[in-house]
Structure 1
């Protein structure tokens, strides 16, 4: 029976709503959209259940209507304005008229209603968690009374630590039932299932016996048997605490946790999915200060053996002669050239890696005089020098050498070139005129001798034309020099084919960092294809990646053997013919830094044990243990001692790290110590105020305003902390919104 007081209260509510709408001169708009069911974390339009949609003229009226709908009191609900109500169709679609500054309230079944402010929008889509109902009466009861409040999980390293308490009401279970709680982790960005956690199973005392008697079920073959808890399911109220540690693939992403709660007996099975952890995650180590370094391997300390190759080489010398003679002029240049010639030929003859292919001797006479006499003189000079060559070489070598001696008389045009070389353009022009007027080398010579300056200007140049040129071509097998290696690289680039020795040379010759990294990658990939990973190339490639903050843990994996618990370990190959160095110190150090940057502390905690006992690595080890969460607790005396040392080492590394480590303890003593340590930080820093807000938020609702004020001071100094706080499980939405309002954001 509806009381008169209730009727009057509802009437006043409607009248107030109408009055408000008139005062604000509202504009009616048609709003449409789709209502989605997100039960079991699957977003699909409502199809088998209709959703009631109510229009409220103001947001305040909408909030009052929401309270009535959430009471699930049918008498109060019937008094609401039915003219301002519609329902969704079979596709979850709706249309409704509402003031543009009003509100819409969505209600399905006994689920809590959802209020959406219109704010001049013409399309509003809504998601409602309606739930899965196998046994409607039972599951409805579950939904009303078993509603775990989603908690903010903790992330340390790549370990996600979700937790919650499942508060079972009286008579939720009984001694014939089984309760299965199956948690699973979702990626908040992709909504993909990452992994399933270990289930928790609670059996009533008679569950196994009932299953055996009524269903013939063999409990020894029960796949859930390893997960059955000691505490038995009963009809009394129960608080089931749950927590787990789950390794996630990328600690930089946000994850939430859901749980499928299944209550079953021999006759029925009722299931419901709850969100038990939010996407806002507590990351106590996110403000830890640490500097990782990279270790380059010095090519000079890891020299590669040169591989000799066939090289085509040539040597040239020039010899000058006396006038009208086949005798060499007695000059230091001639003596030096002859000595070099004999030594080179002797070296070729004696070297096992050199083969003489051919030599050419070209004798030249000056054009002064009779042509035939000059040509005969040039031939004698050629024979003279060829005799010098053949006397230095064994007959069996000469038999395999191609020889092509050649004698010639220089033309007067060569004199013109020499004059022009020395800047005597006037004289050169005069000689050109005479040569053009006279044909034949002898006639030209007679005409030139008529010049007054012939003896003083032209004759000295004739000495330069009385020469024998010697050219020797041979093949030599030797290691390439720097110039040859660079010439080949500049010609072919990364598409060229190089020996390991040539790569080793290029590592020292190339100075451009990008070019050098590409060279490291090419050399290392080739070594992997040959099943012989090259530590120098692979390590320096990884070091280059680290220097530009890029992570690829696959690079160094072939160079590390985790079964060997030390660095720089020498071992023989299969046939004992060669030793190889495994787990080079630089390789292990770089791979450890790669794992830390990636957030893979599961592998990092294994690799860090390989590093030697050296103070140089104390801080790197401490970073690894701390970021991986191994800074407190421990099951053995050694683990406890290591955790204590890690905590103290990181705490002492900087004032900021001291605060971070105390806060990471996440207990009253740690919070108190962190609060005291804040005095060591810059008091006007945004980060300092963020720390203050975090510590205040941990005190609970009683410190709400202090938390808001501290967070607001942080936002005023650095707006980027807004996004940080929104993803931080330390703060709820009310705190963040209040801090933003206070900061005028």
Structure 2
């Protein structure tokens, strides 16, 4: 294994096109080579990257360059890529070093001695206090010692490196400085140099470091890798587990945080004049080859009456106003195209004239400059689509369309000869294409009443404006419906802040908080209720550090005091939290005392808790901190017997992991004892049975 250390990765800028290069590096024994530095060309080249704990790497480099691999205790190696994007490299130990390690290993009787420690969790920070004693027999002027703690996340099967610590002997430092041409910035470990303390004539490395992690409830341990190098010779290496589980009493802290609704009415959407659109289609029959509407046709009378009523409904509403009008006439495709187009336009103009006949002169004058007409000819493609909807064959029709895609005259002359033209196409489908469509926009000055809004919402919620969404929301009769309305409103109006806050508050109440909802609205000027909801959502997602960053935006008042204290507690401000919650007694008081490391007082308060599984658990943790081993063991055993689900927490809790191991050892011992007893009893039964048979045989003789 190579030295596990953090190297500064310097981007290598160049003119050549870079691609992703992947690979792995192993040593002569097939083990992953960790922390091998990958450079461009040679040992002085730009650093591309470093191998991970599996010896793997992923870098961006020119696929035709040469890569240089080097690491402590290994002979450097260069590999030409030659266009390859995946490579596997075998790297060897230094020849002179191998002999030295073998010989020195026999002489090494002392070891670097790391002390057991804890992984403390404060917010999202994993904090360690590594302390390693260096026996005086091992620390010489020509040595360098590197200790590298590593957080092993057992739950997620990942590893993260803490900051390493480096101690360099005087002679080693002088030699290194010369090798680096007096530029120690070239030494990748220079930034991690630590001063040692002298305790009992031995040197001691002691420092504090932390990692930010998103998942404070994961099972973790801390390993520490230790190396002693004599110049380029690896004289000693070892790995020790210095912490199991995480110490985080705040995992038992409980609080009730309700979603908050914005009270300031200035954020409620105001009713306003809105532009609305309407669309209609009339099936009007015209006299053959004429633009004159057949007044005797009953269908025409019904269609025109329906259109008249709709238009006059808007015109006679004192709160409504027409803004624009458009009419489009469509003719069927049989016959000459230009003639059809002219006829379509004439029929459009005729329909518009009839529409204007329904309106008064003032309305017509107001919209004459925003009135548009259009005549179009339907295509034979539309005929084919209508027939296919009715499951009729269209192979021959489509063959003609495809042969003459841009020539409607050629299409018509050949379609006319199809056997189904007269009895099917002409009589059934061409009439369905002849129509007139009209649309108009209008504004409404008055407010729609709740019933009108409800009808509009049911027809098409996308037509609602923010105020109408708000009214629908207020009139909803259950939270499920309210959630749907909120999401529909945000779909149409992503910046609808008060609706986003309402949804956030609903989800908080349902224990389904989502911090993404309010993230776009977070700022110093945001409503206090919104900021509190965002903080609560982040807390529920275990994003304690992010929640703490928003606290500065909150005013210090009665509304925010609890939220501020809760966030402070999870981010290490235990004393302030104790002032607000500790006096209430119960679990939270014990938890906060443990977080402040006031273990004696926490133990006393834990005795006052009601006799229940979690109380026994906390008593076990407090007792264990105070080395009250027998009490700790008895309480953890009782806690897990009464509530086996607590074992999942105990497995990751650094305050009781050793107790859990004792329980496992006891179970194993009892199992072995039971097996031996069973085996003994079976042996005695066999002997008794054999004895009885022998006695019976003797009597018979």
TM range (shorter): 0.5 to 0.7
Displacement after TM superposition at 1:245 (Å): 2.4
Cα pair 2:4 2:148 within 8 Å, conserved: no
- After the TM superposition, which residues 528-567 of structure 1 pair with which residues of structure 2 at under 5 Å, given as runs? 528=494, 533-561=495-523, 564=524
Structure 1 segment 105-254 matched on structure 2, within 5 A: 135-138=101-104, 145-146=111-112, 148=114, 151-194=117-160, 196-213=161-178, 216=181, 218-231=183-196, 237-254=202-219
1:590: Cα distance to partner? 0.5
SS of residue in 1 equivalent to 2:559: helix
Post-superposition offset of 1:269: 4.0
Name which of 555, 578, 585 aligns with 1:612: 555
Report what 2:680 is aligned to.
none
**Would the alpha carbon gap of residues 256 and 38 (structure 1) be closer, same or farther in structure 2, given more than 3 Å must change?**
farther
Q: Residues of 2 paired with 1:742 and 1:617: CA distance?
A: 54
What's the CA shift string for 1:191-242, capped at 9, x where partnerless?
Answer: 2234x32221211122221223466453254343333223389996333224
Residue 664 of structure 1 corresponds to 595
Per the alignment, residue 602 of structure 1 pairs with: 545
Aligned to 1:66: none
Question: Is 1:647 matched up with 2:578?
Answer: yes
Mark the CA change 1:47 to 1:208 in structure 2 (over 3 Å): closer, same or farther. Answer: closer
1:560 to 1:213, Cα distance in 2 relative to 1, 3 A = closer
Q: Is the 8 A contact 1:307 1:501 kept in 2?
A: no
SS of match in other structure, 2:484: helix
Q: Secondary structure at the match of 1:145?
A: coil
Q: Deviations over 1:553-583 (max 9, x none)?
A: 222121112xx3xxxx3xxxxxxxxxxxxx1
Q: CA contact under 8 A between 1:215 and 1:266: conserved in structure 2?
A: no
CA distance in 2, matches of 1:715, 1:739: 14
User: Cα distance 1:526–1:274, how it changes in 2: closer, same or farther (>3 A)?
Assistant: farther
Following superposition of structure 1 onto structure 2, how do residues 37-52 of structure 1 map, counting pairs within 5 Å?
48=29
Does the residue aligned with 1:260 lie in a helix, a strand or coil?
Answer: strand
2:641 matched to which residue of 1? 716
Matches within 5 A, 1:324-473: 348=316, 353=321
Q: In 2, Cα distance between the equivalents of 1:218 and 1:349?
A: 86
Count of aligned pairs between the two proteins:
451
Q: Deviations along 1:488-508, whole A, 9 cap, x unmatched?
A: 332346xx4543333223322
1:103: which partner in 2?
Answer: none
Q: Which residue of 2 aligns with 1:124?
A: none
2:598 corresponds to 1:673: no
Structure 1 residue 729 corresponds to structure 2 residue 657: no
8 A contact 1:605–1:628 mirrored in 2: yes
1: distance between equivalents of 2:273 and 2:117? 65
Change in 2 beyond 3 A, CA 1:400/1:625: closer
Within 2, Cα distance between the matches of 1:397 and 1:513? Answer: 45
SS in 2 for 1:181: strand
Superposed displacement of residue 651, structure 1: 0.6
TM-score (norm 2): 0.55
Give the unaligned 5+ runs of structure 2: 6-24, 32-92, 280-308, 326-356, 368-439, 672-701
1:625 CA displacement: 0.6
Q: CA 1:489–1:212 in 2, change beyond 3 Å: closer, same or farther?
A: same
Q: Are 1:499 and 2:465 an aligned pair?
A: yes
2:121·2:248 contact (CA, 8 Å) conserved in 1? yes
Match of 1:693 in 2: 620
Match of 2:453 among 468, 471, 485: 485
| Cα shift readout 1:270-294 (whole Å, capped 9, x = no counterpart) | 6746244444111111221211121
CA contact (8 A) 1:202 1:232 kept: no
With over 3 angstroms needed to count, the CA separation of the structure-2 counterparts of 1:303 and 1:178, relative to structure 1, is same
Give me the whole-angstrom Cα distance separating, in 2, the residues matched to 1:141 and 1:665.
Answer: 46
2:474 is paired with a residue whose SS is helix
> Is 1:628–2:571 an aligned residue pair?
yes
SS in 1 for 2:469: helix
Structure 2: distance between partners of 1:549 and 1:681: 27
Query: Where does structure 1 lack aligned partners over 5 or more consecutive residues?
Result: 1-36, 51-130, 314-340, 358-389, 402-473, 570-582, 632-643
User: Over aligned residues, Cα RMSD in angstroms?
Assistant: 4.6
Paired residue secondary structure (1:615) = coil
Q: Is the 8 A contact 2:120 2:127 kept in 1?
A: yes
CA contact (8 A) 2:466 2:496 kept: no
- Contact 2:603/2:623, CA 8 A, preserved across alignment: no
Q: 1:161 to 1:207 in 2, by over 3 A?
A: same
Contact in 1 for aligned 2:268/2:498 (Cα 8 Å): yes
Q: Residues 599 and 741 from structure 1, CA distance in 2 versus in 1: closer, same or farther, beyond 3 angstroms?
A: same
Contact 1:708 1:738 in 2 (8 A): no
Superposed CA deviations along residues 17-49 of structure 1, whole A, max 9, x for unmatched, are: xxxxxxxxxxxxxxxxxxxx99989xx999949
Alpha-carbon offset, residue 249 of structure 1: 1.5
| 1:281 is aligned to 2:246 | yes
Distance 1:346 1:248, change over 3 A: closer
In structure 2, what is the Cα distance between the partners aligned to 1:517 and 1:536?
13
Distance 1:159 1:346 in 2: 64
Give the Cα separation in 2 of the matches to 1:675 and 1:306: 64
Contact 2:118 2:654 (C-alpha < 8 Å) held by counterparts: yes
Distance (whole Å) between structure 2 residues aligned to residue 235 and residue 655 of structure 1: 44
- The question of whether the paired residues in 2 share the 8 Å contact of 1:545 and 1:551 is answered with yes
Q: Distance in 1 between matches of 2:317 and 2:655?
A: 85
Instruction: Measure the CA separation in 1 of the matches of 2:134 and 2:553.
Output: 48
In structure 2, C-alpha distance between the alignment counterparts of 1:726 and 1:40, rounded to whole Å? 27
- The whole-number CA distance in structure 2 between the counterparts of 1:233 and 1:659 is 37
- TM-score, reference length from structure 1: 0.52
Query: SS at 1:588's partner residue?
Result: helix
Alpha carbons 1:202, 1:233 under 8 Å: kept: no
Distance of aligned partners of 1:45 and 1:490 in 2 relative to their CA distance in 1, 3 Å threshold: same
CA distance in 1, matches of 2:508, 2:606: 32
Report the Cα distance in structure 2 between the residues aligned to 1:676 and 1:613, rounded to whole angstroms.
Answer: 34
Q: Which residue of structure 2 aligns with residue 14 of structure 1?
A: none
Instruction: Report the alpha carbon displacement of residue 705 of structure 1 after superposing the two structures with TM.
Output: 2.3
1:297 aligns with 2:224: no
Query: CA, structure 1 residues 688+490, in 2 after alignment: closer, same or farther (shift >3 Å)?
Result: same
- Give the match's secondary structure for 2:250: coil
Aligned position for 2:536: 593
Partners of 1:543 and 1:696 in 2: CA distance = 41
Higher Rg: 1
Aligned to 2:221: 256
The 3 A distance-change label for structure 1 pair 477 and 714 is same
In the alignment, the residues of structure 1 paired with residue 505 and residue 476 of structure 2 have an alpha-carbon distance, to the nearest angstrom, of 16
